[in-house]
Amino acid sequence: MTTFDVMRIFIPATIAFLIGVGLTPFLTHLLYKNRMWKRTGGKNGLDGKPAEVFNQLHKTKEVGTPRFGGIIVWGSVLLTAGLLQVLWVFFPDAFGQLAFISRNQTWVPLAALIVGALVGFVDDLFEVQGRAGLKLRIRLLIVAAVALLCAWWFYDKLGVSSISFPFAAGPVELGAWFIPLFVLVALFIYAGGVIDGLDGLAGGVFLTIFGAYAGIAFFQDQMDIAALAAAIAGGLLAFLWFNIPPARFYLSETGTMGLTLALTVIAFLTDTLGGGRGVTVLPIIALPLVITVVSNVLQILSKKILKKKLFRIAPLHHHFEALGWPSYKVTMRYWIVGIIAAIIGMIIALI
């Protein structure tokens, strides 16, 4: 690894951050001018009944703060990728190695990011228009469909049908079972997107996760993937600058769907293709997302089997709020847990 290799990671991240910060005043003006927030606060639980504890905590917060904050993230990433690609065309000697759009490494995660962002944008648009957003089953079907296409690309075009485990002698061959595994991982990670519930929480968590995968890809010499993950981290850092309490806007579905789909693809790209363990360390690196999903599942099972709640409210970060923790304390402790988990995951991935 050379100094220039390091700069190939830091430069896209810095450009994405600067573009994101530059875009924010214009986006904020449009969002507030057009009142791009939910018309009524509160939400229903998975059983269709009003989520009473959540509504007590957040009903007034959801009205008056715009959605669509994810535009800052994916917009800055796409503009960074496009800018470096254009500079490479006109100045190949100076910028050739900084361009990170490539068929074998970043086409698929970029496509997943774009599709997820656009679908999420439609859902957010419905929400701010006072209509019901896309139903959960519809969003899950879309995520599954995108994941299925990505899985097919890995299996058929890239010849990937195995994943690697720490301390194992070699990759574990899954054959065609690789495809449903890919889809299940994508659905699970997407379900963790509901972590976008407190000011600064989702931005900090996703920032740590993509930063970890940028490091893994870098040490596996997958420079284009590392640059893309770093650019996403840079865009998230710009978003987080304006999302810390009090949040200027929320990441919302256009952010979480795009990010979770891109994360799934990047995890698989940094697995056997890169000679690493990107998939098996995903539950560790993305521990806050895992905790979010597991707490939701446990809450549902407890209500159905034991006829009582396990937590005052799920997911877990709202349970801590209901116990009286200030939201900023919940957020910052999640950041700490996320950073430690990411470090542990990177160590295991690179052993």
292 within domain boundaries: no
How confident is the model over 25-42, as pLDDT tens digits?
A: 999 999 999 999 887 766
pLDDT tier, 172 (very low <50, low <70, confident <90, very high otherwise):
very high
pLDDT digits (tens, 9 = 90+) for 87-128: 999 998 878 789 999 999 999 999 999 999 999 999 999 999
Is residue 296, in this structure, part of any structural domain at all? no
Please state the pTM of the whole predicted model: 0.95
Residue 314 domain-assigned?
Answer: no
The verdict on residue 327 lying in a domain is no
The kind and range of the H/E element at 339 are helix 327-350
Query: Average per-residue pLDDT in the chain?
Result: 92
**Which pair of structure tokens corresponds to residue 55?**
């509504």
pLDDT at 197: 85
Residue numbers of the domain that contains 241: 3-280
State the pLDDT at residue 51. Answer: 60
Give the pLDDT confidence of 43-57 residue by residue, as tens digits. 655 555 556 666 666
Is 289 among the domain residues? no
Total of domains in the chain = 1
153-169 pLDDT tens trace = 999 999 999 999 988 87
Radius of gyration of the chain (CA): 20
pLDDT band, very low/low/confident/very high, at 245 (cuts 50, 70, 90): confident
pLDDT at 95: 83
Name the pLDDT band for 69 (thresholds 50, 70, 90).
very high
Cα(69)–Cα(339) distance, integer angstroms: 23
From start to end of the chain, where are the E strands?
162-163, 172-173
Residue 244 lies in a domain: yes
> Is residue 250 domain-resident?
yes
Q: What percent of the chain has pLDDT over 70?
A: 93
Asked if residue 222 has pLDDT above 80, the reply is: yes
- Inside any domain, residue 337: no
257-304 pLDDT per residue, tens: 999 999 999 999 999 999 999 999 999 999 999 999 999 999 999 999
